[in-house]
Amino acid sequence: MFLRTMTRRSKMKVGIRTTGRLNGMPFDEVCRWMAANGFETIDVPNINGDMVKTASSHGVGICQVDLVAGSDLLSDDTDKQKQAIQASIASIQNAIDHGVKNMFYVAPAPADPSQGRAATFEQWKRTMPAIVDFADSNGATLALEGWPGGSPHFDRIGANPEMLRAMFEVCPSEAFGINYDPSHLIRLGVDHLRMLEEFGHRVHHVHAKDTKFDSEAL
């Protein structure tokens, strides 16, 4: 379980993102526990009408839904690209239909993790603008989680300021922004406060959790 803070223009709410063991628990049980412990919102990997009713019955709001963003978004096959774009757009529309307009997004992994981030970025540019345009035209936002991926390749893009600048140049709409999680920045040695000075206006969502370096493991 990890906690996250969710910012609005006039109010901050605190909730939970359902990961790990929470995904294996009955949704009603999770929402009941949240309400009893003062949490106002929940972030979920997918959404349907029953989930909305269940959360609402406990006074909990669903704040963010995962964007469907499969690896075919980076495919060299144009048919696979189109299908992947439509899957992403459909997940945005489904969230909107259930009252949620904030999407959690992790850049997909390339088929070849050793190809380097520059090559992955070139693939990303072919598909992401259409998804951002759809979100923008429908009042939704995409919040990019800066998870760099696992070692040794760290193949996910969007984890450092240099790449974010390039991504925002391709997709300038503020519908495309950041899911600010300083733990990933600290892990990479990026100044998490300086990050906000440059990109704070792009933050659509915030994750918060304790971060500690294991010097023995290093």
pLDDT in tens, the chain (218 residues): 444 444 445 578 899 999 888 888 999 999 999 999 999 999 999 999 999 999 999 999 999 999 999 999 999 999 999 999 999 999 999 999 999 999 999 999 999 999 999 999 999 999 999 999 999 999 999 999 999 999 899 999 999 999 999 999 999 999 999 999 999 999 899 999 999 999 999 999 999 988 888 888 87
What's domain 71-200's superfamily in CATH? Answer: Divalent-metal-dependent TIM barrel enzymes (3.20.20.150)
End-to-end Cα spacing for the chain: 25
Sheet holding 12-17, edge to edge: 2-7, 12-17, 41-44, 61-66, 102-105, 141-145, 176-180, 203-206
Are the CB atoms for 183 and 212 separated by under 8 Å? Answer: no
Residues 175 and 38: their CA atoms lie apart, in Å, by 30
Residue 103 CB contacts under 8 Å (≥ 6 apart), including other chains: 64, 65, 66, 67, 91, 92, 95, 135, 140, 141, 142, 143
- The secondary structure of 33-98 as a DSSP string is HHHHTT--EEEESS--HHHHHHHHHTT-EEEEEE----GGGG-S-HHHHHHHHHHHHHHHHHHHHT
Percentage helix, strand, coil, to 5, in the chain? 45, 20, 40
Map out the domains of the chain as residue ranges. Answer: 1-66, 71-200
| Span 39-88, pLDDT tens digits | 999 999 999 999 999 999 999 999 999 999 999 999 999 999 999 999 99
pTM: 0.92
**Beta strands 2-7 and 12-17: pairing type?**
antiparallel
